[in-house]
A and B are shown apart, each in its own frame.
Chain A
Amino acid sequence: MSVGLPHFLTVSAFLFSLGLFAVMHRRNAVGILMGVELMLNAANINFVAFSRYVQHGIDGQIMTAFVIVLAAAEAAVALAIVLAMYRNFGTPNADTIDSLKR
């Protein structure tokens, strides 16, 4: 069976599941962010694969460009939040920051 759409979808399904796993089991906020990046890349691969194999057009690639830009903005803000958190609480672990509970 030559390489086609299902192969790309399988790769992206693996990436998405791994990203989900990282988001759920990591305590470090930067590790969670890495999981989010994996999930975004899975979505991007799907966009490009569908635009190549099903739509035969370019709209999926344009959407991927927007997703990449927004992911970069998200990463910048999220990492700034992690640094601010580290300065105020002395730890990058997301589950230690629970001052609203008290």
Chain B
Amino acid sequence: MTADLIFYLLAALTVIPAFWVVLSKNLVHAGFALLLTLLGAAGLYAWLGADFIAVTQLMVYIGGVLVLVLFVVMMTRVPKHDKPVRGLDRYVPAGVFALATLGLLYKVITGAGWDTTGLPPAEPTTAEIGANFMTNYLFPFEYVSLVLLAALIGAALLIRERRPEDEPELKEENDEEVAS
């Protein structure tokens, strides 16, 4: 079946680069692998008939978040003295915990038995999502815009360069320190 084959390709596109994201020593490589993972996830959304979410994923994650992440990877550099040779002491607890989580999730997935019969055909969702945003989800929709504004202001405030001459109080303190 073609649809099943497409699902397995998309699943491979999602999961295999995710290993690379996690294990790569080079964070730029990890970032580009994350691109493939997010692309695969967008394909899975499209496979599930969630066309609006698939396009949102492409625009927000791949066009926005990933570019930000790659910028920050390129703007920061790990200094030489901060690169100690590490043995397995970080990998073993993390690996054990991740595998335990995977096992638990596998048990839940195989044991739950959700009723998935009577699947309706997939329909375009954009109009329905828009109507829901303006009716049932109006408060969260407005609230999330407030959160975005707060995040915008907060991020700008955090990365602002603080120079002493811009802040008279700070400058006075510095002068006192120099004098004493």
Tell me the smallest distance from the CB of A32 to a CB of chain B, in Å.
11
**A102 close to B (CB within 8 Å):** no
**B152 close to A (CB within 8 Å):** yes
Given the interface pairs A77-B154, A80-B154, the reply to whether A91 lies near B78 with Cβ below 8 Å is yes
Closest to B59 in A: A68
Contact yes or no, B101 A17, CB < 8 A: yes
Contact yes or no, B22 A21, CB < 8 A: yes
Contact yes or no, B65 A72, CB < 8 A: yes
Contact yes or no, B119 A24, CB < 8 A: no
13 further interface pairs, Cβ-Cβ under 8 Å (given A44-B53, A72-B65, A73-B148)? A11-B44, A15-B37, A35-B21, A45-B45, A48-B48, A53-B119, A54-B116, A61-B50, A72-B64, A80-B158, A83-B158, A84-B159, A91-B78
Which A86-100 residues sit within 8 Å CB-CB of chain B?
86-87, 90-93, 96
Contact yes or no, A8 B57, CB < 8 A: no
A-B contact pairs, 24 of them (CB 8 A): A3-B3, A4-B116, A6-B109, A13-B109, A15-B18, A15-B37, A17-B98, A19-B22, A28-B78, A37-B38, A37-B61, A64-B50, A65-B52, A68-B61, A71-B60, A72-B60, A72-B61, A75-B65, A79-B69, A80-B154, A82-B72, A83-B75, A90-B79, A91-B82
Residues of B whose CB lies within 8 Å of any CB of A are 1, 3-4, 7-8, 11, 14-15, 18-19, 21-22, 27, 30-31, 34, 37-38, 41, 44-45, 48-50, 52-53, 56-57, 60-61, 64-65, 68-69, 71-73, 75-79, 82, 90-91, 93-95, 97-99, 101-102, 105-106, 109-110, 114-116, 118-120, 122, 125, 128-129, 132-133, 137, 140, 144, 147-148, 150-152, 154-156, 158-159, 161
Tell me the smallest distance from the CB of A20 to a CB of chain B, in Å.
5
Contact yes or no, A83 B82, CB < 8 A: no
Given the interface pairs A77-B158, A79-B68, the reply to whether A30 lies near B76 with Cβ below 8 Å is yes
Tell me the smallest distance from the CB of A1 to a CB of chain B, in Å.
9
How many residues belonging to A are interface residues under a CB distance threshold of 8 Å? 72
Contact yes or no, A21 B95, CB < 8 A: yes
Which A18-74 residues sit within 8 Å CB-CB of chain B?
18-22, 24-25, 27-28, 30-31, 33-35, 37-38, 41, 44-45, 48-54, 56, 58-59, 61-62, 64-66, 68-74
Residues of B contacting A62 in the complex (Cβ-Cβ under 8 angstroms): 129, 132-133, 137
Complex alpha-carbon distance, A66 and B53, angstroms: 10
